[in-house]
Amino acid sequence: MWSDEIIKGAGLGLRTSFIEEVYDYQLKPNWFEVAPENWIKKGGYLKKLFEKIRQDFPIVCHGLSLSIGSPDPLNFSFLKELKDFLDYYEIKVYSEHLSFSYFNGSNTYDLLPLPFTVEMADHIIEKVKIVQDFLGRQIALENASIYLILEKEMEEHEFIKYIVENAGCKLLLDVNNVYVNSVNHGFDPYQFIDKINPDWIEYYHIAGHDRVEENLIIDTHGQEVIDDVYNLMEYTLKKLGSKPVLLERDNNIPPYNELLQEYKKVKNLVEKHEKQII
Ligand SMILES: [Fe+2]
C-alpha cells in the first residue's frame, strides 16, 4: 500500500516532541523524514504513533550512523536492522551524510569532515556500492557543513561529482550547508550551486543555523531559516529544478503550531517552483 508513494512538495523532520499533534492541525506536512536509528527499536505507544503516521504519510529515511567515510568496516548488524526497517515500512529513499562519525569502534557523536582526496572518494565509492547492494536501494549522500578543511586534492563539488558518478548514488543537497560553508570558508554559494548536476539530486534540505561571528556559522538546525538561505534555495530550485524540500529542525524546537508556520513558508516556496516529482 505504501510502495508506489510519491514524495513531492515540502517535508518535515518527524520528532517525538510533536508526533502526537500532527493530526491536530489542518495544515499537514506533505511527507516526513525520520532518522531510522531513532525508530528501529521503538516499541509501545510511540511505535503505534509512528505506524499511524507511516500509514498516512510518505516517509523518507535520513540516517545518522552509517559513517560512510570512516576507516572502520561497515556495521552489517546495523545494516540488517536498517534493511528490515526500510523493507517493513516500504521506505524507498534512504540518505546519509558525506562525513564520518566512527573511529576504531568508538562513536564520536559528530559528523566529522573528510579529506577531499581520490583515496577517500574511492574508499566511499566502494562502501556505497556495498551498502546499495545490501539494502537493494540506491542511496543518497548529503553534502556536509564543514568547519575544518583537511587535505584537499579537489574542490568539494568535484569530490561530490566523483563519488556520485562512480558510486551510482544520489545527492541530498543541503542548501543551508552550502551557505554555512560559503560564509565559513569564503566562497560564493551561488557558484557552488551552478556546479551541481541536477540529475544527481534526490531532494533538498533547508535549515536554520547560528551565526556566532561575522565569518563563523554553526549549523545548529536550532533557529528559523534566514532570508539569505531562502534566497539560495529559490535560486537552486530555479537553476537545478524542482525537487522536494525538507525543513530540518533538530534543536530548540518551537511549539508545533509555530514550526508549522515556518513549514508553510517552505511549502509555498516549493510549490511555486514545483514542476516535477520524484
Ligand atoms: Fe541537512
CA of 205 from ligand 1 middle (Å) equals 5
**pLDDT higher than threshold 80 for residue 277:** no
pLDDT in tens, 125-136: 999 999 999 999
The pLDDT value given to residue 257: 96
Q: How would residue 64 be classed by pLDDT, with cut points 50, 70 and 90?
A: very high
Share of the chain above pLDDT 70, in %: 97
Mean pLDDT value of segment 200-213: 91
CA of 253 from ligand 1 middle (Å) equals 16
pLDDT in tens, 209-236: 888 788 888 888 888 999 999 999 999 9
CA of 206 from ligand 1 middle (Å) equals 7
CA of 244 from ligand 1 middle (Å) equals 13
Q: How would residue 278 be classed by pLDDT, with cut points 50, 70 and 90?
A: very low
DSSP state of 20: G
Q: Extract the C-alpha cell encoding 235.
A: 535560486
Comparing CA positions, the residue from 97, 112, 103 lying closest to residue 142 is 97
Least trusted range by pLDDT, from 115-119, 184-188, 241-245, 248-252: 248-252
pLDDT in tens, 14-43: 999 999 999 999 999 999 999 999 999 999
The pLDDT value given to residue 158: 97
Report yes or no: 149 and 112 within 8 Å, Cβ to Cβ: no
The pLDDT value given to residue 275: 60
State in Å, rounded, how far the first CA of the chain is from the last one.
18
CA separation for the pair 272, 71 (Å, rounded): 43
Query: 10-273: which CATH topology?
Result: TIM Barrel (3.20.20)
Report yes or no: 196 and 161 within 8 Å, Cβ to Cβ: no
Supply angle C-alpha 221, 29, 271, rounded to 5. Answer: 95
DSSP state of 224: P
DSSP 113-175: ---B-HHHHHHHHHHHHHHHHHHTS--EEEPPP-SS---BSS-HHHHHHHHHHHHT-EEEEEH
pLDDT in tens, 163-179: 999 999 999 999 999 99
- Residue 18's SS3 state is coil
Provide the mean pLDDT of the chain.
93
CA of 114 from ligand 1 middle (Å) equals 16
CA of 97 from ligand 1 middle (Å) equals 8
**Greater pLDDT, 100 or 30:** 30
Q: How would residue 111 be classed by pLDDT, with cut points 50, 70 and 90?
A: confident
CA of 132 from ligand 1 middle (Å) equals 21
The pLDDT value given to residue 107: 82
CA of 179 from ligand 1 middle (Å) equals 12
Least trusted range by pLDDT, from 41-50, 80-89, 208-217: 208-217
CA separation for the pair 76, 79 (Å, rounded): 5
The pLDDT value given to residue 102: 80
Supply angle C-alpha 67, 82, 131, rounded to 5. Answer: 55
CA of 141 from ligand 1 middle (Å) equals 10
C-alpha separations of 99 from 114, 141, 266 in Å: 6, 9, 26
Q: Extract the C-alpha cell encoding 115.
A: 579529506
